[in-house]
Structure 1
């Protein structure tokens, strides 16, 4: 289940921090233990921000990064992303 997300045309650390905050809030409001939260991502630079890794540590989240050059690792996430990306005009900045 996707518990945190955010969308933008730019890749900033605040973008992924907002998504993580949403995931933490969603899990907390349902009384779920955050220690089981799995964070799936690609190797994007926004996921390597110090503030972001500190927040993951604070939440006791487990990180899961796909292997380099293997598009099948993220196939389900990319398929979902393509659904709403298809709806956006090509010139959106």
Structure 2
């Protein structure tokens, strides 16, 4: 999955963006990931649960003592 995502991201960025700073590239990367990996979309790899639900479950199970 990761290879497919980064391949699509790279091909999209090569034709669309010219970055003047690393911070600008990072912001665009975060924006692209948020758009591509919609937090509310149900994922078959997650038993048809949204990624945000999995993230919250993970955070609550790893609370510092």
Identify the structure with the greater helix proportion: 2
Structure scoring higher RCO (CA < 8 A, sep ≥ 6) equals 1
Identify the structure with the greater strand proportion: 1
If the TM-score is normalised by the length of the shorter chain, which range does it land in? 0.3 to 0.5
